[in-house]
Chains A and B, each alone.
Chain A
Amino acid sequence: MTDTRVCPQCGRENPVGQKSCSNCQTPLATDALFVPGQSPKQVDTGELEPMLPEWLRSARSDAKAADETSSNKIEVPPIQQQPRQPTPKPAAPASNIDFLSGLQSQADDEDDEDIPDWLTSITGAAKPKETVQTENPIDSAEGIKWTESSEGEADWLAGLQNSSTISTDEKDELTDFLQDTPAQQAPAFDPAAFSETTDGSSDWFSAGDEKQPKPADTGSFGSSNWFDQPQDESNSSGAFDLGSDDTPDWLKEMSDGEVEAPAELPSAQPSSGAFDLGSDDTPDWLKEMSGGEVEAPAELPSAQPSPGAFDLGSDDTPDWLKDMSGGEVEAPAELPSAQPSSGAFDLGSDDTPDWLKEMSGGEVEAPAELPSAQPSSGAFDFGSDDTPDWLKDMSGGEVEAPAELPSAQPSSGAFDLGSDDTPDWLKDMSGGMAPFVESTQSESDPLSSNKSYEEPSWLTPEAASAVDPFGASLEGEDVKDERAAGDGLFSAVPDWLRSAAPESTIFDEPEKNKPEELEGLSASVPFAETPAFDSNLPDGNDALFTEMPDWLSDAMESPATPEPIIGSDALAPNELPSWVEAMRPVEQTPNANEGMALASALSGNNSEPAEVQGVFAGLSGILPVGAGFAPTSKPKVHSIKINADEDQLKQAGILEQILAAETSPVTLASENVMRSSRILRFGLAFVMVVSVFLFAFMGTQIFSMPVGVPNELKTAVSIVQSIPPDAPVLVIFDYDPSRAGEMEVAATPLFDHMMILNHPRLTFISTNEYGSVLAERFISGPLAGRGYQSGVTYLNLGYLSGGHMGIRSFAQNPAQTITFDTSNQFAWTQPPLQGVTALNQFAAMILVTDDAEAARAWVEQTQELRGATPFLVVSSAQAAPMIQPYFESNQVQGMVSGLYGGAIVERQYNNGNPGTARRYWDGYSAGMLIAAILVFGGGLVNLFLGMRDRTAKREG
C-alpha cells in the first residue's frame, strides 16, 4: 500500500528498499529488530551486513581474512573489506543486534538449529563440533571462531563461569576486577571477567580480552554484543576495526597501533584485542594499561598475541594505568612458548593507586619466570611511581610465588596483599585466592570431560590446578565429586539458566562441613548448601570470600552478645578521639586557663566568651545553651535613612500628610448654639420666683383687673347666662392635673356665674383618666360653696375611652357609650341626666381643657350632632391661640382662656367672686411684666450684640 517506510525513530519516510533511515540512520528493517518474546527464527542475516558499522565490517573482514590466512598460510587481512555475501544461516542468537547472526552466517556451521551455538555450548555439554581446530594451536587457543568452536568455549568457560559466579556474589563487597583477578589468576586484569561479572562493566574493557572467547556469556550480564562480536571466526578475536566512524574516538585510538601487531607476528594471529591506547584522547590510565605489554606479542615467537593487549602508552592514560603496563610487559616475551598476556597492565605508574600497585607487585612478574607457562595477559606493572603504595605492595613479593610453580599458568593477577598498607580485608584476599582456583578448575571439569575439542593449555584443568600462586593445596577428586553432588541445587533453576550456571561453585563444600542448622534448608533452598561465607574451610584454603572484611567476619563470628571492645582501639566512654582532643585548645594546655587564653587568641575575638565545660570547652562563639546564658549585646544600629532628593522628600511628606489626614478625626463644623447660661437661668428664675412669691405673700392688688372683654368671652358669658335654669349642661374636663391651678382659676368664675344664675344640672365627662377626679375636685373645691351634690345636681360619668371614636360614639349615642357613672350607677336615669338621651339635648356643652387637640376632637366629632347646643371652651392660655380659629369659624360659640379670661369674668360678670383670679392677678401681672421686660431687654441685648458683631465684621 505504501511505497515508503516510516522511520520509527524520527518518523521520516524512506524508500522501501532502504535499510536504514536517511535521516537518523535507524534500521528500517523491522525484521532485523529484536522484539521481546519473539522466538528465534532463521533469517538471512547476511542481508543486514550493510547495516553493520564500518569498524565492525572491517573487523569482520579482518576475521575473514584471518580465516583465510589461517587456511592459506596467513595473509595480512585487509583493513577495509567488503562484507561477504551472507549465506542462509539459522536465526541469530538472542541478541538485539543482527550482526551477530551475520557473524554466524560467516561461519561454516551449517547446522539449522534454532538454538545458537553459544547457547548450546554454555552448559558445558555442548555437542562436539566437527570443525574443531585441533591442529592449529593458535586457533584453538585463541578461539578465533566463536560460533564454530563451541568446544573451545568450554575451556575458557571453565574459568569464566567460575569467576562469574564468584564475582556475582561478591561484587557488592569487592571491586570487580579484584574479584576476578584472583579467580582467573592468569589475566591479572581480565576484562572478560568484568563483562561477565558486573552488570555495568565497560564493554571496551571486556573487549580487551580477545583471547578469551566468550560466545555465550557475553550477553549474560548485559555486556554489549558489538564488542563480543568482533571475535570473529578467522580473525583474531579481538581485532576490531576502530577506524569506523561509529567507533568512539578513544576506541579508535586504542586500535591505532595495535591493529598492526598481528601483522608482525610470525605465524601468529594478530591480537584482536590489541588497542592503540597511545592516542592523546585515550585516558591516561588506559594508556598505561597498554604501556609495554602491547609490544609483547610482537616479540613472542610463535606466541599467540594477547588479544587484550592495550596500548596504554598514551599521554592521556593515567599514570597508574600506564604503570600497570610497564615492565611486566616484558615478562611474556621472555616466556618460551608462552601466550603473551594481552591484558598486561603496568601498575607501576605513579598514578596507580597503591593498593593496585601492591596487587601487581609480585604477581605480575610471575609469568615471566614461569617456564612454559602461559604468560598472563593481564599482567600489570605496579612499579610505577604513580601507583599507590598499597597497589605497589600488591605487586611485591607474591609475584614470585607463581614463578616457582612448574608448568603452571602464570597468574598475572596475583597481587601482594601482604603489605602492611594493605587493608585487612585485602590482605585476607591474598589467602583466599585458592577458591578461585578451585572453582576455575571445577568449572573446567564438565568441559574437560569432552576431549573432542581443543582447549588452551592454560585453561586445562591441569594448568588451572597448577595456578596456585600461594601454594594452596588444590582439591582432588573428592572435591569434584562433592561439587557434582551439589548440582542438584539447580533443580529449581530454569534449564537455560542451569546450563549457564556453573556445575559447581566455590560455595560447594563437603556436606560434613555444613552447619547443622543449615542441613534442613539445603534440600529445598537453592544454594543453601553453598553458603557464601564458610568459616569452616580448611586453613590452607583461605578463600577470598571466606576471608571477609573484619566487620563482616566479626558479624558472623561474634557471639550473640557482643563482647566489649578492649584494647588500644577501643574508645573509653565519654572520651573523645585523639584528633578531636587535638582540636581542643583547652586540653592542649596544662590548665584550663591557658586553654581559654589560647582559644581566645585563636578566635581573635575576646568579646565572645569561651566555653569552660563540655565538649566545646575552650571554643568561643558557641551558641548559648539557652536564654540567659549568653550575654545580651545591643543590636547593631543600622541607618534607615533613605537616599532621596528634595523633591522625593516633599512628595513623601505630602503622602504622609494625606495618610495622617485619613486617620485623624474630622471635626464637624457646627454652628454656635446659644445655650442658656446657668447664671442667667438662675437670675431669671430668681426674679420670677421672688416676684411671684412676693406678691403671693404680700397679697397686694397693685395691678388693675383687665377691663376689655374679648368677643369669645363675651359670647361665652352670654351663652352661660342664656342657659335655662336647671337645664342639663354637659361639662367636659380634659386637662391634666398639672394645669388644674390655671384651669380652675379660668373656669371657676364662669361656672360660679352660671350656677348662681341658672343652677344647671351638671354632667361631667372626661376623655382622659384624670378628668373625673379633676371634676370632683373642681366641684368640691372652688365651687364647694354652691352646694352641688353628686347624683343630684351633678353626675360624673367618668372616663370616656376611645379618643375620637369614643367622642363620636358619645355624640351619637351617649347613653349607650357611657351607661354608668363613676359610682357604677346607671347614669341616664339619674336626675342630672333626666330627659337627656342625646347630645343635642344638653343646654350647653362646656369644654374645660388645656389641650387644643382635645378641643379640636370635641369640635370635630360633635359638630354635626350637637345641633343648636352651644359649645363653650374654657381653655388654658397656651391652648387659646389654637382654639381661637374655631371661635372665628363659629364652631365654638364662646371661649374663656386662662387667668386673663377668668379674671374678666370674675371681675365683670361675677362681682369678683370667688376672688381667686384677683389674688393671682398681681403676681400674674408682675410675672408677665417681668417676662415682657426680659423679652424686650433680651431682644435689645441681642440686637446690640448683633450690631456689634456686624460692626466688627465690617471693620474687620
Chain B
Amino acid sequence: MVFSLDLITGLLSFLFTLMVLSYLIGDNPLFKIAVYLFVGVSSGYAIAIIFWQVLFAKLLLPTITVLQTGAYDVGMIRLVVPWLGLFFILMKASPRFAGASRMVMAFLVGAGAAVTLVGTLTGTLLPQIAATINAFDLDVAQARNIKVSEVLGSGAVILIGVVTSLAYFHFGARRQQDGTIHRLGFIEVAAWVGQFFIGIALGVIFSGVFASALTTLLERAFSIVQFINTLIGVP
C-alpha cells in the first residue's frame, strides 16, 4: 500500500485539527501537543527563513560575492556597516562587552522610533483628520456619485462618532460644590454618546473576529470532509 503525500498531509491535518478542537473540553495534552508542535515548527521555520533570507542573502552572500568578484570598492564599504553592526550586537552576549552594542541598538531604536512616529503622523493621524473633514466635502459626494444628504449624514455620523468616542476617553474632571468629582457636562454627554459608537465598533470587530474564526473553522471542516471523502473515495 502506497501512502501518497497528500494522504499523509491530510491525515496529519485531520489529527492536528481534532487535537486543537479538543480544547473545547478544556486544556488537554492533545491540545498542548498540537500547540507545541506548531510553535516548534513555526520557530524553526522562522529561524531558517531569517538565516537564509536575511543573513545569508543580505550579508554572507554579498560578502562572498564581493570576495569572489573582487569588487571591494563599493561592496565592502556597504558590507562593513552590517558586519560591524552584527559584531557589536553579538557583544550583548557578554556582559563585559555589552556596552559595545549600545551604539548599534541606539541606532536601531532611534531610527525605528523616528520612522514609526513620522509614519504614524503622516500616514494615520493627519489623513484620518482630513478624512473626517472631507466627509462633508460635497465634491467627494459628486465624485462618488452619492447624494449630498448622504454625504452630510455620513459625515455627521463620522464626526459625532469621532468626537463622542474621543470624549469618552477624556478623564479630566473637576470637584463640584457638593464635593463630588465629575467631568464637564458636555463632555459627560459626549462620552455617553461616544460609548455607543465604541460599542458598535467593538461589536463590528467582534463580528469580524467571529467571521474570521468561522471561516477558518469552515476551512478546517471542509478540509476534514475532503480528507474523509478522499479516504472513502467519494469525489
Q: A681-B24, A741-B215, A878-B209 are in contact. Are A769 and B128 (CB under 8 A)?
A: no
Q: A804-B115, A856-B123 are in contact. Are A799 and B212 (CB under 8 A)?
A: no
Assess whether A742 is interfacial by the CB under 8 Å rule: yes
Is the Cβ of B211 less than 8 Å from the Cβ of A924?
Answer: yes
Is the Cβ of B215 less than 8 Å from the Cβ of A805?
Answer: no
Assess whether A220 is interfacial by the CB under 8 Å rule: no
Closest Cβ of chain A: how far from B1's Cβ, in Å? 26
Assess whether B37 is interfacial by the CB under 8 Å rule: no
B27-71: contact bitstring with A at CB < 8 Å (1 yes, 0 no)?
000000000000000100110011011101110011000000000
Q: Tell me which residues from 162 to 205 in chain B have a Cβ below 8 Å from any Cβ of chain A.
A: 201, 204-205
Which residues of chain A are near B111, meaning CB under 8 Å? 805
Q: Number of B interface residues, CB 8 Å?
A: 55
Complex CA–CA separation, A120 to B119 (angstroms): 131
Is the Cβ of A885 less than 8 Å from the Cβ of B208?
Answer: no
A682's contact among B24, B131, B207, by CB below 8 Å, is which? B24
A847-887: contact bitstring with B at CB < 8 Å (1 yes, 0 no)?
00010000011011101100000000000111111100110
* Range class of the A interface residue count: 35 or more
Pick out which of these stretches binds chain B: A59-67, A182-190, A378-386, A688-696: A688-696
Assess whether B130 is interfacial by the CB under 8 Å rule: yes
Assess whether B218 is interfacial by the CB under 8 Å rule: yes
Assess whether A822 is interfacial by the CB under 8 Å rule: yes
Which residues of chain A are near B57, meaning CB under 8 Å? 798, 818-820, 824
A822's contact among B24, B53, B58, by CB below 8 Å, is which? B53
Pick out which of these stretches binds chain B: A276-284, A419-427, A654-662, A888-896: A888-896
A892-931: contact bitstring with B at CB < 8 Å (1 yes, 0 no)?
0000011110000000000000000001100110011001
Complex CA–CA separation, A135 to B215 (angstroms): 163
Assess whether B231 is interfacial by the CB under 8 Å rule: no
Q: Tell me which residues from 757 to 790 in chain A have a Cβ below 8 Å from any Cβ of chain B.
A: 769-770, 772-773
Complex CA–CA separation, A860 to B214 (angstroms): 30
Complex CA–CA separation, A900 to B218 (angstroms): 13
Which residues of chain A are near B62, meaning CB under 8 Å? 819
Closest Cβ of chain A: how far from B51's Cβ, in Å? 10
Closest Cβ of chain B: how far from A454's Cβ, in Å? 118
Is the Cβ of B122 less than 8 Å from the Cβ of A898?
Answer: no
Is the Cβ of B211 less than 8 Å from the Cβ of A898?
Answer: yes
Which residues of chain A are near B123, meaning CB under 8 Å? 856, 859-861, 863, 891
Which residues of chain B are near A928, meaning CB under 8 Å? 210-211, 214
Assess whether A50 is interfacial by the CB under 8 Å rule: no
Most buried by B among A696, A744, A773, A798: A696
Looking at chain B's contact residues, the main secondary structure is: helix
Q: A798-B49, A804-B116 are in contact. Are A877 and B122 (CB under 8 A)?
A: no
Is the Cβ of B211 less than 8 Å from the Cβ of A899?
Answer: yes
Closest Cβ of chain A: how far from B64's Cβ, in Å? 11
B215's contact among A697, A742, A890, by CB below 8 Å, is which? A742
Q: A808-B115, A888-B131, A920-B215 are in contact. Are A693 and B208 (CB under 8 A)?
A: no
Assess whether A793 is interfacial by the CB under 8 Å rule: no
Assess whether A685 is interfacial by the CB under 8 Å rule: yes
A669-706: contact bitstring with B at CB < 8 Å (1 yes, 0 no)?
00000000000011001001100110011000000000
Which residues of chain A are near B58, meaning CB under 8 Å? 818-820
B48, closest chain A residue (CB): A769
Complex CA–CA separation, A779 to B135 (angstroms): 39
A876, closest chain B residue (CB): B212
Q: A860-B123, A881-B201 are in contact. Are A924 and B218 (CB under 8 A)?
A: yes
Which residues of chain B are near A803, meaning CB under 8 Å? 112
Looking at chain A's contact residues, the main secondary structure is: helix
Is the Cβ of A877 less than 8 Å from the Cβ of B216?
Answer: no
Is the Cβ of A692 less than 8 Å from the Cβ of B46?
Answer: no
Is the Cβ of A738 less than 8 Å from the Cβ of B56?
Answer: no
Assess whether A813 is interfacial by the CB under 8 Å rule: no
Is the Cβ of A769 less than 8 Å from the Cβ of B201?
Answer: no
Closest Cβ of chain A: how far from B47's Cβ, in Å? 8
Which residues of chain A are near B215, meaning CB under 8 Å? 741-742, 745, 876-877, 898-899, 920, 924
Is the Cβ of A801 less than 8 Å from the Cβ of B218?
Answer: no
Is the Cβ of B128 less than 8 Å from the Cβ of A927?
Answer: no
A770's contact among B25, B45, B112, B207, by CB below 8 Å, is which? B45
Is the Cβ of B208 less than 8 Å from the Cβ of A741?
Answer: no
A879's contact among B24, B53, B54, B208, by CB below 8 Å, is which? B208
Which residues of chain A are near B207, meaning CB under 8 Å? 877
A799, closest chain B residue (CB): B53
A825, closest chain B residue (CB): B57
Which residues of chain A are near B144, meaning CB under 8 Å? 711
Complex CA–CA separation, A885 to B201 (angstroms): 12
Which residues of chain B are near A12, meaning CB under 8 Å? none
Which residues of chain B are near A863, meaning CB under 8 Å? 122-123, 127
Is the Cβ of B115 less than 8 Å from the Cβ of A920?
Answer: no
Complex CA–CA separation, A107 to B185 (angstroms): 131
Is the Cβ of B112 less than 8 Å from the Cβ of A850?
Answer: no
B50's contact among A769, A822, A864, A879, by CB below 8 Å, is which? A769
Assess whether B92 is interfacial by the CB under 8 Å rule: no
Q: Tell me which residues from 576 to 634 in chain A have a Cβ below 8 Å from any Cβ of chain B.
A: none
A741's contact among B130, B131, B220, by CB below 8 Å, is which? B220
Complex CA–CA separation, A850 to B120 (angstroms): 20
Is the Cβ of A693 less than 8 Å from the Cβ of B211?
Answer: no
Which residues of chain A are near B128, meaning CB under 8 Å? 885, 889
Is the Cβ of B42 less than 8 Å from the Cβ of A877?
Answer: no
Complex CA–CA separation, A873 to B52 (angstroms): 28
Assess whether B222 is interfacial by the CB under 8 Å rule: yes
Is the Cβ of B119 less than 8 Å from the Cβ of A878?
Answer: no
Assess whether B230 is interfacial by the CB under 8 Å rule: no
Assess whether A41 is interfacial by the CB under 8 Å rule: no
Which residues of chain B are near A864, meaning CB under 8 Å? 122
Q: A692-B221, A696-B221 are in contact. Are A860 and B212 (CB under 8 A)?
A: no
Assess whether A650 is interfacial by the CB under 8 Å rule: no
Is the Cβ of A742 less than 8 Å from the Cβ of B119?
Answer: no
Closest Cβ of chain A: how far from B16's Cβ, in Å? 12
Is the Cβ of B218 less than 8 Å from the Cβ of A799?
Answer: no
Complex CA–CA separation, A801 to B211 (angstroms): 30
Which residues of chain A are near B24, meaning CB under 8 Å? 681-682, 685, 689
Which residues of chain A are near B218, meaning CB under 8 Å? 692, 696, 741, 899, 920, 923-924, 927
Complex CA–CA separation, A824 to B61 (angstroms): 8
Which residues of chain A are near B53, meaning CB under 8 Å? 772, 798-799, 822
Complex CA–CA separation, A876 to B127 (angstroms): 23
Is the Cβ of A692 less than 8 Å from the Cβ of B217?
Answer: yes
A738's contact among B25, B61, B134, B216, by CB below 8 Å, is which? B216
Is the Cβ of A860 less than 8 Å from the Cβ of B120?
Answer: yes
Is the Cβ of B201 less than 8 Å from the Cβ of A742?
Answer: no
Complex CA–CA separation, A927 to B209 (angstroms): 13
Q: A689-B21, A804-B112, A898-B212 are in contact. Are A861 and B131 (CB under 8 A)?
A: no
Assess whether A739 is interfacial by the CB under 8 Å rule: yes
Closest Cβ of chain B: how far from A244's Cβ, in Å? 100
Which residues of chain B are near A850, meaning CB under 8 Å? 212
Is the Cβ of B225 less than 8 Å from the Cβ of A891?
Answer: no
Q: A805-B112, A860-B124, A864-B122 are in contact. Are A920 and B49 (CB under 8 A)?
A: no
Task: Give 14 new A-B contacts, CB below 8 A, not counting A805-B111, A889-B127.
Answer: A688-B217, A697-B225, A711-B144, A770-B42, A770-B49, A798-B49, A799-B49, A799-B53, A804-B116, A808-B119, A860-B119, A877-B211, A878-B208, A878-B212
Q: Which A-B residue pairs are the 8 nearest by beta carbons?
A: A860-B123, A741-B219, A889-B131, A860-B119, A877-B211, A769-B46, A742-B215, A696-B221
A-B residue pairs in contact (CB < 8 Å), sample of 14: A685-B24, A692-B214, A696-B218, A770-B46, A798-B57, A805-B108, A818-B57, A822-B53, A824-B56, A863-B127, A877-B211, A878-B212, A881-B205, A898-B211
- On A, residues with C-beta under 8 Å from B are 681-682, 685, 688-689, 692-693, 696-697, 711, 737-742, 744-745, 769-770, 772-773, 798-799, 801, 803-805, 808, 818-820, 822, 824, 850, 856-857, 859-861, 863-864, 876-882, 885-886, 888-891, 897-900, 919-920, 923-924, 927-928, 931
